[in-house]
Amino acid sequence: MSHLMGIMLHHTKYSAVRKQFGPSPNEEVPLLEYQLQQYRLLPYLAASFVISHFCKWQYMEFVTFTAKSIVGDKSAEQADLGREIHAMSCAAKSVIGFIARDCIQECRESCGGHGYLAVSRLGELHDVHEPNLTYEGDNNVILQQTANYILGYFKDYLSGVSSSLFIFTCCYFSSKHHCIPYFGLYIL
């Protein structure tokens, strides 16, 4: 996540300061004023704020879980919470890694030739971040762990098994109008 925040801070500043072309030969416009530059950067800037908020929230959930485990809580709710934290961590690691990789590449391309200069640090950030996609396993396989958790929970839900979730990532299953029967399958 730190790579994403760092790259967005650096590249947004660069796009606000770097001027190129303009309505007249004597006037240039900051790159950030161009719609294409905004289209390329602003979704990643928004994602960096959302991811930062999510990571803080996930950390606090983990701290709560750990504290309860330390004092000896062995309840079913605690076990459910542990499984859910694991599933959320798997999904977050993969999705955040993919978003950061794509962000670095988009920033590099939208800088033009300057994106390939060493002073931009984009190449260095790319090299430092790229291994994150395979640490602790391939991110696509790790996403399958999350899918397995959700499918298992959905199977339990359909069979009427109750599970108490504190993080509520699967609480949408409890609303029947979100699940549409389709040829014997349920479409969310």
Give the catalytic positions in this structure.
136
Q: Cβ(4)–Cβ(48) under 8 Å?
A: yes
Distances (CA, A) of 98 to 24, 44, 67, 85, 109: 40, 12, 31, 20, 17
Q: Cβ atoms within 10 A of the Cβ of 30, count?
A: 15
Q: Cβ contacts of residue 185 below 8 Å, gap of 6+? A: none
The partner residues of 180 in beta bridges, in order of sequence, read 187
Place of tokens 């988009």: 106
One DSSP character per residue, 137-174 reads: S-HHHHHHHHHHHHHHHHHHHHTT-----SS-TTGGGG
Tell me which DSSP letter residue 131 carries: G
- Give the C-alpha separation, 66 to 75, whole Å: 13
Quick one: CA torsion of 33, 35, 40, 43, rounded to 10 degrees? 90
The partner residues of 151 in beta bridges, in order of sequence, read none
